[in-house]
């Protein structure tokens, strides 16, 4: 494997979610062409989740400044925004980090399963538009196989802790008799799937909305819940007591004005914004009777629930140390 493998990342470890979301790359296809054109990268793979934005690349000669300049242009940021937020690694350190990623060791929820699927989707997308090449394709194929083996042998993902389950638990801790409340899930992506699984498991009824009713219906057929038209939700937030918001949009879906109007007709509401970038206007927290929570609060809760999984970390780190050589070969 070429020594010219690099990793640039902004993650929840260095940046709170409200800062992290500013680095989001909205047009990934365009980003691939821009990184190749302006940053001297021969191959690249972009991984974006609610807790990280990462670039893996191959380059015979690269410049951190050129990568930051291109990234800043794509995200609409000043270059100094990267100070204290971005990390760069190359060679063995980049390989080690990739194995931590696929094993779930670098996730907010230690051992979570969804990151492996997200990485698979990222390399698949990069392959399809030829952003990656033989070096990164081989690297990711090996890493995914090793990560799967580590997860199966260590059992680190057992126990059902996820961002979705933590969000539902947070709602349970803050709302009396949640089973009697009207619950809405906005979004039909991976995080929404985790929330829906947790709601189903605990026996809660819930509605689901997405930009098209057909998408909501398909989601509900697979995950449970009742489909609701998007436009009906936007004009009828007063019909719900709990909102789980896990979607993407270049603007706020849950606005101060809409929730102010809804609260004229009801006594209280809890909103959990699981989106990155956030799609709930933070100002709704100033409205009387509204409790707004986001990924930062969920991160604190996750930390308290990870003791059993943390006991496996050292063993997995030792395995990763042994397997790094496979990626270098």
How would DSSP label each residue in 58-84?
Answer: E-SS--HHHHHHHHHHHHT--GGGGTT
Q: Is the pLDDT at 199 greater than 50, yes or no?
A: yes
Instruction: Read off the pLDDT of each residue in 76-102 and give the average, rounded to a whole number.
Output: 95
- Please write the tens of the pLDDT for every residue from 251-280: 899 999 999 999 999 989 999 999 888 899
What domains, with CATH codes, occur in the chain?
A: 5-158+313-328 (3.30.460.30), 163-304 (3.40.50.720)
Higher pLDDT, 132 or 276: 132
Confidence of residue 76 (pLDDT cuts 50, 70, 90): very high
pLDDT of residue 154: 86
Distance of alpha carbon 204 from alpha carbon 179, whole angstroms: 6
For range 287-306, the mean pLDDT: 82
- What pTM value is reported for the model? 0.70
> What is the per-residue pLDDT for 200?
93
Closest of 64, 42, 58, 43 to residue 3, by C-alpha: 58
Average model confidence (pLDDT) across the chain:
91
Q: Which residues are catalytic?
A: 50
Q: What is the pLDDT of residue 1?
A: 38
Q: Coil, strand or helix: which one is 11?
A: strand
Is-contact 191 208, C-beta < 8 A? Answer: no
What confidence category does residue 189 fall into, taking pLDDT thresholds of 50, 70 and 90?
A: confident
Residue 27: pLDDT band with limits 50, 70, 90:
very high
């Amino acid at each position: 494997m070429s020594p010219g493998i690099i990793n640039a990342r902004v993650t929840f470890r260095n940046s709170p979610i409200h800062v992290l979301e500013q680095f989001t790359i909205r047009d990934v296809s365009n980003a691939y062409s821009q990184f190749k054109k302006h940053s001297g990268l021969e191959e690249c793979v972009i991984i974006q989740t609610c807790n990280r934005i990462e670039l893996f690349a191959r380059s015979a000669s690269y410049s951190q400044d050129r990568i930051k300049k291109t990234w800043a242009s794509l995200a609409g940021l000043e270059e100094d925004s990267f100070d204290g937020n971005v990390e760069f690694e190359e060679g063995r350190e980049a390989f080690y980090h990739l194995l931590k990623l696929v094993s779930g060791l670098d996730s907010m929820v230690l051992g979570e399963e969804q990151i492996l699927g997200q990485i698979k989707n990222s390399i698949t997308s990069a392959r399809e538009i030829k952003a990656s090449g033989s070096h990164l394709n081989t690297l990711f194929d090996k890493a995914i196989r090793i990560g799967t083996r580590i997860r199966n042998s260590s059992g680190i993902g057992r126990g059902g802790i996820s961002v979705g389950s933590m969000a539902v638990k947070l709602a349970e801790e803050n709302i009396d008799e949640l089973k009697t409340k009207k619950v809405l899930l906005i979004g039909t992506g991976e995080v929404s799937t985790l929330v829906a699984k947790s709601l189903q498991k605990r026996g809660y009824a819930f509605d689901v909305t997405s930009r098209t009713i057909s998408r909501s219906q398909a989601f509900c057929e697979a995950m449970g819940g009742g489909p609701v038209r998007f436009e009906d939700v936007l004009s009828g937030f007063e019909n719900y007591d709990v909102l789980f918001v896990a979607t993407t949009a270049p603007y706020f879906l849950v606005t101060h004005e809409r929730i102010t109007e809804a609260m004229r007709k009801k006594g209280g509401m809890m909103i959990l914004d699981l989106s990155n970038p956030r799609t709930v206007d933070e100002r709704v927290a100033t409205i009387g009777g509204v409790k707004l929570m986001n990924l930062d609060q969920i991160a604190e809760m996750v930390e308290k629930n990870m003791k059993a999984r943390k006991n496996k970390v050292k063993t997995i780190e030792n395995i990763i140390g042994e397997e790094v050589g496979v990626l270098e070969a």
